[in-house]
Copies of this chain bind each other. A is one copy, B any other.
Amino acid sequence: MAKRDLYEALARQLRADSIRCSTAAGSGHPTSSLSAADLMAVLLGGHLRYDWSEPSNPANDHLIFSKGHASPLNYALFRAAGAITDQELLTFRKFGSRLEGHPTPVVPWVDVATGSLGQGLPIAVGIALAGKRVLGAPYHVWTLTGDSELAEGSIWEGLDHAGHERLSNFTAIFDVNRLGQRGPTELEWNLDAYAARVSAFGCESIVVDGHDLTAIDAALERARRTERPTVIVAKTVKGRGVSFLEDKVGWHGKALDAEQARRALAEIGDVTSRTFPTLKPDPWQAPKRPAARRPEWRTYREPVATRKAYGEALAALGASRADVVVLDGEVSNSTHAEDFKKTAADRFFEMYIAEQQMVAAAVGMQVVGLVPFASTFAAFMTRAFDFIRMAAISRANIRLCGSHCGVSIGEDGPSQMALEDLAMMRAVHGSTVLYPCDANQTARLVGLMTDREGISYLRTTREKTPILYIDGLDDFHVGGSRIVRGGDTDDAVVVVAAGITVHEAIKAADELKGTITVRVIDAYSVKPIDAAALIDALRVSQGRVCVVEDHWPEGGLGDAVLAALAEAGVMQEVERFAHLAVRDMPGSGKPAELLDAAGISARHIADTVRELAGASRDRHR
């Protein structure tokens, strides 16, 4: 079959299948699929190099539907490539089917979950960056965006980075169909405006008629060859190919009913569902990496900030593992991620102040087997919450570090203080949340994160903190805790702390020594939390518990402790529960002043312990 005929036949089939599967589902986005059908037909039929029988082939191109709602088209591609059957295609959106409403990597040919707009493109930038700068891989990364999502700032963060890094292996395809969910987009068919933006952000723009198969063919050819990142700005028609859908408002996210589908399929023409040939990548093997060695952690004896220990742990990882990559949001001299450059400068990625792009790039890099750590101030991780949430749906393995948590940062004031990050990170599906109080512990927790699946988060502290742990450093584990005072008692008040408040709790315990025994638990694993240690603590304390944290009261350590006790069914053993947390909006001041003003300093802990002990005495009297 001539190339053009093949494209035409393929486009017809993609259109028909997009309608058929969404009509069978009774929901979905056929019109958003139809606008991009010609673009994807030419890509699949003539340009994408992909071994459908081996999705993990490291030479495979990558194709990410940033416009995840065009999933009917995405799945129709898989059908046309022979990866799935027609029968499976018709399970679209049905309970139990892997063909979900928006693509997820439950499907082997899908790299990442999309559906929150503006995310697929920045993730594709990450895959391209890894291919070019770390792997030297031959793959090209393609991403299809809608035009509505071009209003998301994250798109421009992505193109800015693509341009800056001159990612010649990156091509975005803008499907400019003029219509968003509820009406015209901001720029409608102003292709020149899009092209000007693309160029200004350092990428090469190629404007095409998105239904002219020959023009698309030439554009894709040029896109792969160009020395710069490319954006194909394609003028398309929403619902293209079906007269009563074309360029019509009110058809977004609507499936055709059976009669409408019959008419639409009649217009599209006689389609025999079949498998089309696609290009395979040239054989390529990634160069063998040196075998991972056990990292050589530094041993600290003098006070060191946990953020500094994080940086030095990354440096140890850089020397011992060739798959670890580090990203930072232009604050690497504060998070100390810059230390990684001492051992693996070529695997350090400066993401500038673009936290969304930073997390997206980390997600992209783990797609191709790298082990990313990404850091910024913990407060600014909130900027990327939607990306972190989606990373969980992507089943991504990424490691995040947020520094400068809590009021203990001091003078910079509340805009720089993370006081909600534990709540945010606990509420990420399958996440691990770690919060060290000491430099040696930090290194070991970084080690644990390296091989951890899912999304793990490390919360570090700005100020230097004393060293608590010299021995038993290999005993730290996800889900663990450590008793740092009062481990040998049967009549204590329990203080559960983490990070900076562990040191405040120790001061309180030492101050009370001889009058009230205090068991201080370092709950360095906030999620999962060490329920067994908490239950044991209830027993020795006759249920007198104080949780103290440098965080708002909601969603942090206090909530985690209560949830664990409730789940264990031991609520009745909690005689008294005190929760010291940051309750008023802090200002600026010295760390010690702010800890005290927030009511989470040693003095307040000691007062609370006295109260808990006294109350108990009153009751037992």
Residues on A lying within 8 angstroms of B by beta carbon are: 25-28, 68, 93-102, 104, 106, 113-118, 148-149, 151-157, 160, 164, 180-182, 185-186, 193, 196-197, 199-202, 330-334, 338, 352-357, 379-380, 382-383, 385-386, 389-390, 392-393, 410-416, 419-420, 423-424, 426-430, 527, 543, 552-556, 558-560, 562-563, 566-567, 569, 571-577, 579, 585, 587-590, 593-594, 597
Contact = CB atoms under 8 A, between A and B. Distances in A.
A386 B383 contact: yes
Given A331-B181, A411-B93, A579 B567 contact: yes
Name, among A185, A559, A579, the residue most crowded by chain B CB atoms within 10 Å (CB to CB): A559
A101 B552 contact: no
A531 to B, nearest CB: 14
A33 B5 CA distance: 64
Nearest to A335: B182
A143 to B, nearest CB: 16
Nearest to A568: B577
Nearest to A553: B563
A574 B566 contact: yes
A331 B383 contact: no
B424 A427 contact: yes
Given A415-B390, A572-B574, A577-B571, A152 B95 contact: no
B95 A589 contact: yes
B385 A115 contact: no
Nearest to A428: B420
B415 A353 contact: no
A179 B528 CA distance: 41
A178 to B, nearest CB: 13
Contact of A157 (B106, B152, B389): B152
A552 B389 CA distance: 12
Given A99-B588, A113-B415, A115-B415, 8 more contacts: A116-B379, A151-B160, A182-B331, A196-B199, A390-B415, A423-B426, A423-B555, A571-B574
A330 B559 contact: no
Contacts of A117: 353
Contacts of A68: 415
A423 B353 CA distance: 26
A329 to B, nearest CB: 9
A169 B54 CA distance: 57
A415 B429 contact: no
B156 A411 contact: no
A563 B558 contact: yes
Given A95-B593, A182-B332, A413 B559 contact: no
Contacts of A154: 153
A467 to B, nearest CB: 26
B385 A383 contact: yes
Contacts of A427: 419-420, 423-424, 552, 554-556
A330 B104 contact: no
Given A182-B333, A527-B554, A563-B558, A104 B414 contact: yes
A571 B569 CA distance: 11
A153 B158 CA distance: 9
12 contacts: A100-B588, A116-B380, A151-B352, A193-B200, A196-B199, A393-B414, A419-B429, A426-B555, A429-B585, A554-B563, A555-B555, A559-B559
Contacts of A200: 193, 196-197, 199-200
Given A411-B25, A559-B559, A186 B102 contact: no
A115 B519 CA distance: 39
Nearest to A584: B429
B115 A354 contact: no
Name, among A93, A379, A386, A426, the residue most crowded by chain B CB atoms within 10 Å (CB to CB): A386
